Structure 1
Amino acid sequence: MTDQNENIQGKINNILWQACDTFRGKIDSSIYKDYILVMLFVKYLSDTYKEKLDEYKDRYKGDEERVKRAMSRERFVLDEISTFDYLYSQRNNSEIGMIINKALEHLENENTGKLRGVFRNIDFNSEAILGKSKERNAMLKTLLEDFNKLDLRPSVVGHDDIIGNSYQYMIERFASDAGKKGGEFFTPSMVSELLARLVKPQENDRIYDPTCGSGSLLIRVVNQVPNRKVAVYGQERNGQTHSLALMNMYLHGIDDAKILWGDTLSNPLHLEDGKLMKFQVIVANPPFSLDKWAMGFSGDKADDDKPFKMEASLDPYRRFEWGVPPSSKGDYAFVQHMLYSLAENGRMAVILPHGVLFRGGSEAKIRQQIIEHNLLDAVIGLPQGLFFGTGIPTCVMVFKKNRTRREVLFIDASGEEHYEKGKNQNQLRESDIRKIVETYDAFKVEEKYSYVASIEEIKDNEYNLNIPRYVDTFEEEEIVNMDEVQENITRIKRQIADVEEKMARYLRQLGI
């Protein structure tokens, strides 16, 4: 990125972050982020539309019919009341919240193929969220005035994905601000980069994230392919986050991503001929140890007197035949869904809590099946404190279909030398990612860092995958010289005695 583009990027980011002051202290950031990001999207569409309209008017010398025909072929179609300029002109209107809602509805209707349902989960006229009319109108007026400072025309911002970068910047800031809730919609950028490099997407691959959040992880994977000629699929349970993901894709030039809204476990939506669709690349950062993950399967079986118990037979896609995960920990429910969705020769990388490596019960049985079917390729221990709102230890499990080797690589990248400490959150550096990926690609053993275990060795460990069983990071303590210690103690005692004798002499002189 050039210096000029960096300046533009910084200016946009600063204005966006300042716009958040309109809501700070009044609404939780996990909620007001939707208003900021939707307005950024609308301003981007509007400014792009305006510049194109001026260009065609000039080219066709004011021929309205030709201009209209040309504009209808653009990525997005806007009518006058959908433009940011129109909303800004109405900023003092007592019905401004309703006016914005209608503008968003028009945008959806004019672009049903792309924007259907994108704005359905956001209400600019909500009294419950934005307060009573006077307060709400004041906030929306200020929001429009803040965004009016931005000029997002392509001729101004250039073509270096600046708007997409600003969107990502805001999502990351919101995730940091939202603490634990932030982890629900954002995977830290360098962790996403690690997963993207581990799965090595190729041209024409189908890429899938079953818990895609705001889509940032998917975008990182797409960017690994130079011409971005891949098919992108995702599913997200949270409605607002699903909308963020769609806008994120469009702002990064990924117009054909199929991001669907629904519970991936109880209602997987990416199907072919009634069966789970298959993907060459799968990445995910599912919610850690999700409680009540199976409640979507209860249906008519819900009984007030008898608690619902998930059974493998309740899943029409037969994903849980290796074992039904505990009702309070959905980690292996997501893993099994992904394994059943993995194409032949497919690659898959998932971020999970360390407990999946060693917990017993049904999870141990599932682990055994995964190992015996030779699907696990690597286990990578990550540093603590990488994720928003949680300090629990995490790992990346890498899976492959049709593996020929019968070994698993273990990497312990959790040591202090493998990350940069931050005030609120630790960071993976480029050098840390490169070391992990190079070690994985070479499948090499490095003392106190990585180890290649045979399937037989893992069986001998009763399918326990806890990393310290395989990678010894123990540092021997220096041998203590007891004679030297005794000599130090004797010297200290003499010093104390000298001090006590001086103190007693001073006290005698003072007559005490």
Structure 2
Amino acid sequence: MSEEQKRLLETQLWNIANILRGKINANQFQDYILGFIFYKYLSEKMEAHANKILVPDGIGYTQIDETSADGKEYLEHIREDAINSIGFFLKPSDLFKSLAEKGNAKQAKDDDAHESAGNFILEDLARILKDIEKSTMGTESEEDFDNLFYDIDLDSGKIGRTVADRNTIIVKIITALNAIDFNLGDSQGDVLGDAYEYLIGQFAAGAGQKAGEFYTPQAVSTILSKIVTTGKSRLKSVYDPTCGSGSLLLRVAKEVDDVAHFYGQEQNRTTYNLARMNMILHDVSYHDFTIRHEDTLERPQHLDLRFEAIVANPPFSAQWSANPLFMNDERFAQYGKLAPKTKADFAFIQHMVHQLDDNGIMACIAPHGVLFRGAAEGHIRKYLIEDRNYVDAIIGLPANVFYGTSIPTCILVLKKCREFPDDILFIDASKEFEKVKNQNVLRPEHIDKIAETYRDRAVIDKFSSTASLEAVKANDYNLNIPRYVNTFEEAEKIDLDAVALELRELDKAMVETDRVIAGFCGELGISAPF
């Protein structure tokens, strides 16, 4: 599929999403649109898988008679194979296109001679979504599909005052989606997955403050991904402790040939569902990802594992319990202090450091305060630098690149086994952006400059420098970037003699101008204005 066709698909999906615009707000209607796209994807994947199985029989999946003995035998065989291979099962009559055909079938005119928008499908749709989840019960994929469609509330008055109103809206969306070819057999790449990512980004842009709960801007995700894959073509594992929609994990996969397993944890249930859908829709097998729903700091789900790459965009300065019992937690005990209750930034960093493999690398987003705040945070920062020497690089990003906040942020890069253990690299990329409307955007050239500077550990005037550990110690372990990267622009020198000469010339010109004006006034017989 060409880039033009890909853009067309994105536009088509966004136009369908706009069917609900004005009825409910962006962070609510995303649940319906993304959920229905996912249902269509599962249907097309199911049909394609079944058709391959049925090639020797010379029939297609939708040709099976579900009521006959032979048909039931076919379905049972296909069900067993589908559960093992793709992790779920759908009957031919429950495929997306079958539901769309039913919903779009025009009913006879009623007594008032008004034509209905279509057949009633809400009950069928609710049952089908439940049946998809039920098909995985007792299997390896059960946890990946459990309550996956929980947030699609077909009884909500927000999408229609009456049942008939709701049915009309849903039929309209299902019919419009059914007309789009997802082209799952395209070998050119993850086209539908990219379009899905585009939609998630569009919803994030319209969700304001809530966007930080589920989406990291693609440009920032790309920088993190390029950093943690430096020098690698394959990863055994990648982990995001605050994975949101899973977009950051999936972005890492685009930088290497293969990621053996994806791990993530997400506290928000709706976003957790979105992350699982996003993984499956990007054709990541249920065998190859483990996403868990829990509070990462309070109830970590992967604590016994160590990861080769860790990426994260934790909530900025979030609150957490800071329970004194955590001083006995292996993630925090060695530091001697806990992150403040009102600023969990370092708690997330400590958690990630604990989960990082000895040969691993982690890159996480944080507010600038983590670089210089004192008290417990200063103590933790000193421990990471002086006692462990894990801090590899600090990268300052432009302000206003995240949805919902305009504060400047930074990337912390940490390694347990550093190739350059005697210094820390500092990059000031705060001016590397293009202003687009009210948002600052990092373009590919900005991303490449940051990633290449990190990779080459290059020292560039007014952009990057390295600071010895002794220099950092002399600054009392303050990592504020301006202390190490001099971005001062010397004011242009002013030639006062030239300015004086220019003023004298102006005075002469004014005298001449006054003389000419006085002459004109004399000719007109009026007084000069000076």
1:67-216 equivalent positions in 2, closer than 5 A: 68-70=76-78, 72-74=80-82, 75=86, 76-80=88-92, 82-88=94-100, 89-90=102-103, 96-112=121-137, 113=141, 114-128=144-158, 131-155=161-185, 157-158=186-187, 160-200=189-229, 203=234, 205-216=236-247
Q: Is the 8 A contact 1:324 1:333 kept in 2?
A: yes
Q: How far does residue 365 in structure 1 lie from its aligned partner after superposition?
A: 1.4
Pairs aligned (count): 485
Q: Which of 8, 12, 35 pairs up with 1:15?
A: 12
% of aligned pairs identical? 39
CA deviations over 1:276-301 (Å, ceiling 9, x no partner): x22121100111122x232xxxxxxx
Secondary structure of the structure 1 residue equivalent to 2:473: helix
**Change beyond 3 A, Cα 1:434–1:501:** same
**Change beyond 3 A, Cα 1:406–1:131:** farther
Q: How far does residue 66 in structure 1 lie from its aligned partner after superposition?
A: 4.8
Secondary structure of the structure 1 residue equivalent to 2:28: helix
Secondary structure of the structure 2 residue equivalent to 1:123: coil
Residue type at the aligned position of 1:252: H
1:149-298 equivalent positions in 2, closer than 5 A: 149-155=179-185, 157-158=186-187, 160-200=189-229, 203=234, 205-226=236-257, 228-255=258-285, 256-272=288-304, 277-290=305-318, 292-294=319-321
Of 454-463 and 494-503, deviating more is 494-503
**Change beyond 3 A, Cα 1:315–1:77:** farther
Q: How far does residue 141 in structure 1 lie from its aligned partner after superposition?
A: 2.0
Q: How far does residue 452 in structure 1 lie from its aligned partner after superposition?
A: 1.1
Query: What is aligned with 1:333?
Result: 347
Q: How far does residue 67 in structure 1 lie from its aligned partner after superposition?
A: 6.2
Q: How far does residue 489 in structure 1 lie from its aligned partner after superposition?
A: 3.8
Rounded to whole Å, the distance in 2 between the matches of 1:79 and 1:336 is 47
Rounded to whole Å, the distance in 2 between the matches of 1:126 and 1:398 is 45
Q: How far does residue 441 in structure 1 lie from its aligned partner after superposition?
A: 2.3
Rounded to whole Å, the distance in 2 between the matches of 1:169 and 1:350 is 22
Q: Which of 427, 437, 452 pairs up with 1:411?
A: 427
Secondary structure of the structure 1 residue equivalent to 2:441: coil
Query: What is the TM-score normalised by the length of structure 2?
Result: 0.84
Rounded to whole Å, the distance in 2 between the matches of 1:209 and 1:376 is 19
Rounded to whole Å, the distance in 2 between the matches of 1:160 and 1:413 is 31
Residue type at the aligned position of 1:407: D
Query: What is aligned with 1:447?
Result: 461
CA deviations over 1:151-194 (Å, ceiling 9, x no partner): 23534x45521111111111112112223322321112222111
Q: How far does residue 333 in structure 1 lie from its aligned partner after superposition?
A: 1.5
Query: What is aligned with 1:427?
Result: 441
Q: Is 1:365 aligned to residue 368 of structure 2?
A: no
Query: What is aligned with 2:65?
Result: none
Query: What is the TM-score normalised by the length of structure 1?
Result: 0.87
Q: Is 1:29 aligned to residue 26 of structure 2?
A: yes
Structure 2: state its 5+ residue gaps. Answer: 60-69, 105-116
**Change beyond 3 A, Cα 1:510–1:377:** same
Q: How far does residue 24 in structure 1 lie from its aligned partner after superposition?
A: 0.9
Residue type at the aligned position of 1:287: P
CA deviations over 1:107-156 (Å, ceiling 9, x no partner): 1111342412211233122225654434322321221121121123534x
Alpha-carbon RMSD: 2.7
Q: Is the 8 A contact 2:237 2:263 kept in 1?
A: yes
Secondary structure of the structure 2 residue equivalent to 1:364: helix
Rounded to whole Å, the distance in 2 between the matches of 1:339 and 1:475 is 37
Rounded to whole Å, the distance in 1 between the matches of 2:206 and 2:187 is 29
Query: What is aligned with 1:378?
Result: 393
Rounded to whole Å, the distance in 2 between the matches of 1:359 and 1:130 is 50
Rounded to whole Å, the distance in 1 between the matches of 2:309 and 2:422 is 21
Q: How far does residue 94 in structure 1 lie from its aligned partner after superposition?
A: 7.8
Rounded to whole Å, the distance in 2 between the matches of 1:235 and 1:164 is 21
Q: Is 1:313 aligned to residue 343 of structure 2?
A: no
Rounded to whole Å, the distance in 1 between the matches of 2:57 and 2:5 is 31
Q: Is 1:344 aligned to residue 341 of structure 2?
A: no
Q: How far does residue 332 in structure 1 lie from its aligned partner after superposition?
A: 1.1
Secondary structure of the structure 2 residue equivalent to 1:421: strand
Q: How far does residue 257 in structure 1 lie from its aligned partner after superposition?
A: 0.6
Query: What is aligned with 1:472?
Result: 486
Secondary structure of the structure 1 residue equivalent to 2:211: helix
Rounded to whole Å, the distance in 2 between the matches of 1:503 and 1:350 is 70
**Change beyond 3 A, Cα 1:138–1:61:** closer
Secondary structure of the structure 1 residue equivalent to 2:440: coil
Residue type at the aligned position of 1:357: L
Q: Is 1:388 aligned to residue 406 of structure 2?
A: no
Q: Is the 8 A contact 1:312 1:318 kept in 2?
A: no
Secondary structure of the structure 2 residue equivalent to 1:343: strand
CA deviations over 1:31-58 (Å, ceiling 9, x no partner): 1111111111111111232344445444
Of 492-501 and 36-45, deviating more is 492-501
Query: What is aligned with 1:460?
Result: 474
Q: Is the 8 A contact 2:23 2:158 kept in 1?
A: no
**Change beyond 3 A, Cα 1:489–1:90:** same
Q: Is the 8 A contact 2:235 2:256 kept in 1?
A: no
CA deviations over 1:449-497 (Å, ceiling 9, x no partner): 2111111111110111111100111111121112222333444456567
Residue type at the aligned position of 1:317: D
Of 365-374 and 57-66, deviating more is 57-66
**Change beyond 3 A, Cα 1:153–1:469:** closer
Secondary structure of the structure 1 residue equivalent to 2:342: coil
Secondary structure of the structure 1 residue equivalent to 2:172: helix
Secondary structure of the structure 2 residue equivalent to 1:137: helix
**Change beyond 3 A, Cα 1:213–1:293:** same
